[in-house]
C-alpha cells in the first residue's frame, strides 16, 4: 500500500465499497427469485440462471427493436424491457412448473437433476437462437458516464440505477410475501400444505404462480444484469452456485437473511479483491461461506416454525 496517500486510499476504499454494493445489488436481484422458489417452495431450480439469461436476451431484443422502430422512445426502452423480461421469464416459469416441477414436489433431488437438464436445454436453445457470442446492449445516454462525488471518487450512473432498482424490487417482494393475501397463502402452503389445502387454499395454483413469479424476478435480474456485463448462453451457469450459496447462507426461508448474506458475501469478496487476485478472493469468500454453513447449517436467519 506504499505509494498511495491517505486521500487516495480513502477514495479507493470508497470506490471498492461501491463496487461491492453493485455486486450486492446483483446478488440480491438474483437471489430474490431463488429465495421465493427455493426458500419458500423448497424447489431446487438449477435452471434459475437460464431464466435470468432469458430476461437479459429479452432486454437485448428490446433494445434492438426500439432502436430500429421507435428511436424516439429509446431513452426509456429499459423500463419496457424489464416488463417484457418479467413476462417472458414468468411465462416460461409457469410452463415449466406445469410440465415438469409439479410432478416432482416429493422428490427434491430429482427436481435438481431435471432442472439441470432444463438448463442444458435452454443454453443450447439460446446458442442456436442468439449465437454463441456474448451480446451486450447499448445503454441510453442518460445511463452512461459517472458522477463525481469528489475529485477522486467516481460513481457510475448505471450502478446507481441498478441499486435503486434492487431496492424497489426488494420492497415489492417484501410487500408481496408479507403483506398481500397471496403471500399469506404462499406462506401457509409452505408451512403446512395439507392444512392449507383443508382451509380452502388452492395449493396447486399457489405453487404455480409462486414459481412463475420467482422466475419472473429472475428475468428482471437478468435485465438489470445487461447494464453491467454482457450476456452469453452459458452466463447463467456461472452465477447459479453463488446464488444458491447466498440463499442457503442467509437461511433459506428468510428474506432478510437473503439480503444480509448477499451483503456479507459481496462485500467480503470485493474487499478481498483489492488485496488478492480475483480468483483467490472468490475462493476465500466461498470457502468462508461453506465453512460457516458447516458450523451453522441452518443459515444466518432462521424462521421459527413448529414441525
Partner 1 sequence: MTGTAFLNRKDLIGLLLLGLLIVVVLPLAFDIFRLNLIGKYLTYAFVALGLVLCWGDAGILSLGQGVFFGLGGYCMAMFLKLEASSPEATKIQSTPGIPDFMDWNQITALPLFWRPFHSLTFTLVAIIAVPVLVTFIIGLAMFKRRVGGVYFAIITQAIAAILTILIVGQQGFTGGINGITDLRTLKGWDIRTDHAKYVLYFINASLLLGSIVLCQYVRHTKLGRILVAMREREDRVRFSGYDVANFKIFVFCFAAALAAVGGAMFTLQVGFMSPSFVGIVPSVELVIYCAVGGRLSLLGAVYGTLLVNAAKTMFSEDFPQLWLFAMGALFIGVVLAFPDGLAGIYQSYVEPHVERLLALLPGRSGPGMAAAAPASRPE
195 or 241, CB closer to partner 1?
241
CB of 50: closest distance to partner 1 in angstroms? 10
* Residue 134 in the binding site for partner 1 (CB under 8 A): no
Closest approach, Cβ 282 to partner 1, in A, equals 6
- Out of 71, 108, 131, 229, the residue judged to bind partner 1 by CB under 8 A: 108
Strand ranges, E, within the chain: 146-148, 154-156
Near partner 1 by CB under 8 A: residue from 59, 123, 258, 267: 123
What residues numbered 184-243 form the site for partner 1, per CB under 8 A? 237, 241
Tell me how far apart the alpha carbons of residues 86 and 80 are, in angstroms, rounded to a whole number.
10
Residue (of 88, 103, 22, 23) closest to 50 by Cα position:
88
Separation CA 54–CA 43 (nearest Å): 20
Q: In this structure, how many other beta carbons lie within 10 angstroms of the beta carbon of residue 235?
A: 20
- Closest separation between CB of residue 12 and partner 1, Å? 23
Query: Which part of the chain contacts partner 1 (CB under 8 A), choosing from 27-35, 136-144, 178-186, 273-281?
Result: 273-281
> Per CB under 8 A, does 244 bind partner 1?
yes
Residue 132 lies near partner 1 (rule: CB under 8 A)? no
Q: How far is residue 213's CA from residue 204's CA, in Å, rounded to a whole number? A: 14
Stretch that binds partner 1, among 136-144, 150-158, 210-218, 284-292 (CB under 8 A): 284-292
Long-range contacts of 165-173, Cβ-Cβ distance < 8 Å, separation of 24 or more:
165/25, 165/29, 165/220, 165/224, 166/25, 166/26, 166/28, 166/29, 166/224, 169/29, 169/32, 169/217, 169/220, 170/28, 170/32, 170/259, 173/32, 173/36, 173/217, 173/255
Can you tell me which of 109, 129, 194, 307 binds partner 1, judged by CB under 8 A?
Answer: 109
Burial class (CB in 10 A: 0-12, 13-18, 19+), 243: buried
113 binds partner 1 (CB under 8 A): yes
The answer to whether residue 307 forms part of the interface with partner 1 (CB under 8 A) is no
| Closer by beta carbon to partner 1, 44 or else 221 | 44
Residues that bind partner 1 (CB under 8 A): 42, 44, 100, 103-104, 107-110, 112-114, 116-125, 127-128, 237, 241, 244-245, 248, 277, 279-280, 282-283, 286-287, 289-290, 293-295, 297
Amino acid at each position: 500500500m506504499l505509494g498511495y496517500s491517505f486521500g487516495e486510499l480513502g477514495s479507493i476504499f470508497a470506490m471498492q465499497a461501491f463496487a461491492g454494493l453493485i455486486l450486492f445489488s446483483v446478488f440480491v436481484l438474483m437471489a430474490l427469485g431463488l429465495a421465493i422458489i427455493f426458500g419458500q417452495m423448497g424447489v431446487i431450480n438449477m435452471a434459475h440462471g437460464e431464466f435470468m439469461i432469458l430476461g437479459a436476451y429479452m432486454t437485448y431484443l428490446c433494445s434492438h427493436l426500439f432502436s430500429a422502430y421507435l428511436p424516439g422512445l429509446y431513452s426509456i426502452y429499459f423500463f419496457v424491457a424489464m416488463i417484457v423480461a418479467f413476462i417472458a421469464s414468468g411465462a416460461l416459469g409457469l410452463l415449466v412448473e406445469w410440465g415438469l416441477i409439479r410432478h416432482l414436489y416429493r422428490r427434491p433431488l430429482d427436481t435438481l437433476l431435471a432442472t439441470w437438464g432444463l438448463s442444458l436445454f435452454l443454453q443450447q436453445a439460446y446458442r442456436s437462437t442468439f449465437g454463441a457470442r456474448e451480446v451486450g446492449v447499448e445503454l441510453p445516454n442518460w445511463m452512461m458516464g459517472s458522477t463525481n462525488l469528489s475529485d477522486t471518487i467516481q460513481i457510475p450512473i448505471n450502478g446507481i440505477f441498478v441499486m435503486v432498482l434492487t431496492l424497489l424490487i426488494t420492497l415489492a417482494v417484501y410487500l408481496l410475501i408479507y403483506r398481500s393475501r397471496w403471500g399469506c397463502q404462499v406462506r401457509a402452503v409452505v408451512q403446512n400444505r395439507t392444512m392449507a389445502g383443508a382451509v380452502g387454499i388452492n395449493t396447486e395454483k399457489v405453487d404455480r404462480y409462486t414459481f412463475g413469479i420467482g422466475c419472473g424476478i429472475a428475468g428482471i435480474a437478468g435485465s438489470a444484469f445487461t447494464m453491467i456485463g454482457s450476456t452469453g448462453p452459458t452466463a447463467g451457469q456461472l452465477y447459479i452456485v453463488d446464488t444458491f450459496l447466498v440463499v442457503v447462507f442467509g437461511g433459506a426461508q428468510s428474506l432478510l437473511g437473503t439480503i444480509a448474506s448477499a451483503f456479507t458475501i459481496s462485500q467480503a469478496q470485493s474487499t478481498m479483491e483489492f488485496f488478492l487476485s480475483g480468483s483467490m478472493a472468490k475462493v476465500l469468500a466461498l470457502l468462508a461461506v461453506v465453512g460457516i454453513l458447516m458450523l451453522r447449517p441452518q443459515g444466518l436467519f432462521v424462521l421459527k416454525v413448529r414441525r
